[in-house]
């Protein structure tokens, strides 16, 4: 080979290698998971000059990702914990190959900020887009639009449920037009979206603009549209209270009255035989809610009392005329001795009628009682299947329509693992699994005691838990309010 040609080749190689190593623009993150199942919800959030760039994650046993930077950029890394952080290790190198951090997932990697030593010169500033808006909103889609802030021809879009954090929404990069149709949305729901100008391929981007909030329309179900109306007797809104609206066990929306007396109205479509649950979370005695059916007829009316907030309502059958059951009703009362409700423990009762799930009930907050009525036809067999994630102090009592107690289960009697389930309840012709004489006999209260075992007067012992002892040996714990 000609000596001069050989020297030229070496010189070109040196330039290429030099440009690669010393003209590098990117931070390199090398991520590992020892179990091979990814980071289980953990991630590294990256910001560039205070603006969100991306989240870094490992989805298997190994992954490498990069972050573009320019000279003088402030690059910020924050680690957010997941389910199995002990499986995680990672290394972050700056544009010149220096290790910034390396090792197991830290207990706290907060605001690791590095002034970029990239050799890539800054580009012209990328101007934010503006004029965010929506068009053609339906029950499951919307066209989101914006106005370019400069000469950029591409944008990044991020959208999700109202209140989502940047980085946790659906991200679409490199959108070529200042409009985008988003689909797969849920009816009668609030959504947010953000837009970011993408000025060149080197991740010269603007900061995110938004959120812009919009609401999808209600769908027209096979039997019409229901309306939920919220009121407040004090005229100051519901504060931190809200109604969780579920249809067939799936959350449609958390709905509240932000301020004033109301009404605040939520419209939603229902199909025949849909099961609706209205689960109240809050603590105000002034909160009121009403549910109207497709014909504008009142189906549910709940309001607080001077000593309690409104109750939740479970098992509302859409588009069904009220039918008097051929047998009767079960009344299920739910309690919590610690007065923090069942939801925090993931606890609930599945009501199964003839081996088919009818509804799922719980005490959302407070001490209780939360009362739910279940209609029973002749021959129906009812199972009440309790489930929970943690030990707790829950209890429930079951009565028939005449006030006769059928079942009473407490967590205390089950090793603090939550009350036992109750199976095989049958009201007609008799309650199976129980002696008939016991079933029809009204039990008698023989005394009221405090938690020290002292017999007391209910009227003069307020704001404490009282124990009611009956002549059949059973007892009931209740919180005796001041009102």
Q: CA–CA separation, 47 vs 76, rounded Å?
A: 5
Q: Collapse the DSSP code of 459 into the 3-class scheme (helix H, G, I; strand E, B; otherwise coil) and give the result.
A: helix
- Residue 470, pLDDT score: 64
- Residue 182, pLDDT score: 95
- Residue 448, pLDDT score: 73
From the number of C-beta atoms within 10 Å of its C-beta (0-12, 13-18, 19+), residue 215 rates as: middle
Question: CB–CB of 194/178 below 8 Å?
Answer: no
- Please list the residues that pair with 158 across neighbouring strands: 171, 194
Q: Residues of the chain whose pLDDT is less than 50?
A: 1-23, 430-442
Q: CA–CA separation, 405 vs 470, rounded Å?
A: 12
- Residue 220, pLDDT score: 84
- Which two tokens mark 308? 């309690």
Report CA 227 to chain centroid distance, whole Å: 22
CA torsion, points 166, 171, 177, 178, in degrees to nearest 10? -20
The pLDDT mean for the chain works out to 81
- Which two tokens mark 79? 């680690």
Q: Collapse the DSSP code of 413 into the 3-class scheme (helix H, G, I; strand E, B; otherwise coil) and give the result.
A: helix
pTM recorded for the entire structure: 0.53
In order of their start, the domains of the chain are 3-115 (2.60.40), 130-215 (2.60.40.10), 225-442 (no CATH), 443-483 (no CATH)
Q: Which residue has the tokens 């990702």?
A: 65
- Residue 214, pLDDT score: 95
- Please list the residues that pair with 23 across neighbouring strands: none
Taking only the tens place, the pLDDT of each residue in 21-51 is 334 788 899 999 999 999 998 999 888 888 8
Question: CB–CB of 154/176 below 8 Å?
Answer: yes
Taking only the tens place, the pLDDT of each residue in 365-400 is 777 778 888 888 878 889 999 998 887 889 999 988
Q: CA–CA separation, 5 vs 94, rounded Å?
A: 35
Q: CA–CA separation, 247 vs 471, rounded Å?
A: 43
Taking only the tens place, the pLDDT of each residue in 246-261 is 999 889 999 999 999 8
Q: CA–CA separation, 123 vs 51, rounded Å?
A: 16
């Amino acid at each position: 080979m000609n000596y001069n040609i050989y020297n030229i080749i070496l010189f070109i190689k040196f330039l290429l290698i030099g440009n690669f190593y010393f003209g590098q623009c990117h931070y390199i993150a090398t991520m590992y998971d020892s179990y091979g199942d990814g980071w289980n919800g953990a991630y590294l959030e990256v910001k560039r000059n205070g603006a969100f760039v991306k989240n870094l994650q490992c989805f298997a046993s190994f992954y490498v990702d990069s972050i573009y930077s320019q000279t003088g950029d402030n690059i910020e890394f924050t680690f957010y914990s997941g389910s199995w952080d002990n499986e995680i290790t990672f290394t972050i190198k700056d544009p010149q190959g220096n290790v910034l951090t390396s090792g197991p997932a830290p207990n706290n990697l907060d605001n690791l900020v590095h002034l970029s030593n990239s050799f890539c010169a800054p580009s012209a500033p990328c101007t934010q887009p503006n004029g965010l808006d929506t068009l053609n909103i339906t029950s499951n889609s919307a066209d989101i639009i914006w106005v370019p802030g400069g000469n950029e021809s591409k944008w990044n879009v991020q959208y999700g449920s109202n209140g989502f954090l940047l980085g946790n929404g659906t991200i679409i990069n490199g959108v070529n037009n200042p409009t985008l149709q988003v689909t797969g949305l849920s009816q009668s729901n609030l959504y947010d979206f953000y837009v970011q100008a993408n000025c060149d391929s080197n991740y010269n981007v603007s900061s995110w603009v938004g959120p812009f909030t919009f609401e999808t329309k209600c769908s027209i179900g096979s039997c019409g549209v229901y309306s939920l109306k919220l009121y407040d007797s004090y005229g100051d809104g519901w504060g931190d209270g809200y109604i969780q609206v579920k249809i067939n066990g799936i959350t449609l929306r958390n709905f509240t009255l932000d301020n004033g007396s109301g009404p605040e109205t939520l419209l939603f479509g229902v199909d025949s035989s849909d099961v609706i649950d209205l689960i109240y979370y809050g603590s105000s005695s002034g909160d009121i809610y009403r549910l109207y059916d497709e014909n504008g007829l009142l189906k549910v009316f709940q309001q607080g009392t001077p000593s309690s907030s409104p109750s939740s309502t479970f098992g509302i059958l859409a588009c069904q005329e009220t039918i008097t059951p051929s047998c009767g009703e079960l009344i299920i009362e739910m309690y919590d001795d610690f007065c923090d409700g069942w939801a925090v423990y993931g606890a609930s009762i599945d009501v199964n009628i003839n081996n088919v799930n009818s509804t799922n009930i719980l005490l959302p907050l407070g001490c209780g009682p939360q009362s739910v009525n279940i209609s029973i036809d002749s021959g129906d067999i009812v199972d009440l299947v309790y489930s929970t994630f943690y030990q707790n102090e829950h209890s429930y009592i079951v009565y028939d329509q005449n006030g006769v107690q059928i079942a009473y289960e407490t967590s205390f009697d089950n090793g603090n693992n939550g009350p036992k389930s109750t199976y095989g309840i049958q009201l007609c012709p008799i309650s199976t699994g129980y002696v008939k004489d016991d079933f029809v006999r009204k039990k008698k209260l023989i005394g009221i005691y405090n938690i020290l075992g002292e017999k007391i007067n209910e009227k003069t012992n307020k704001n404490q838990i009282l124990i009611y002892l009956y002549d059949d040996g059973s007892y009931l714990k209740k919180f005796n309010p001041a009102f």
